[in-house]
Amino acid sequence: MSDSHVYHTSLEWKEGRVGTETPPGLPALGVATPPEFPGGVPGIWSPEHLYVAAAEVCLMTTFLAIAENSKFEFVSYRSKAEGALEKTEAGFQITKIVIRPEVVVPGADAVEKAHRLVEKAEKYCLISNSMKTEIELDITVRSA
């Protein structure tokens, strides 16, 4: 794997506050201003949703890579995340993202290791490491 990668996106405005993101080789994604802002559109991805999702997805994919490299077996992984958008002296910013991963492991003996691997994934997540936003984890690990 190379030490440098470039990711391309392409965006086209459609109407009002709506556009379509069409990254090469990926499905199109409708995007818009969130409904909390003037002219915002409900029911469509906003930059704020994508920002929070980027941190959440990166945590999962980093966990999956670490688990695979560690030969750590688990039953399932799911998560929920929320980002707090606040008005600061510098303007509106997402000041904190809380990610709530839930990992199910085959037995009680794997609970502690799963918890450590999720924490390690957060430490090495390239997206959260690229953000100035505070990332907080609320980890749940249970045995099947």
At 58 the pLDDT is: 98
**Do residues 19 and 31 lie in contact, with contact meaning Cβ atoms separated by under 8 Å?**
yes
Question: pTM score, two decimals?
Answer: 0.94
- For the chain, which ranges sit under pLDDT 70? none
At 2 the pLDDT is: 84
At 1 the pLDDT is: 74
At 18 the pLDDT is: 97
pLDDT in tens, 67-91: 999 999 999 999 999 999 999 999 9
Domain encompassing residue 87? 47-143
3-state secondary structure of 47: helix
C-alpha–C-alpha distance, residues 44 and 30, integer Å:
6
Indicate whether 13 and 73 sit together in one domain: no
- Give the CATH number of the domain where residue 104 resides: 3.30.300.20
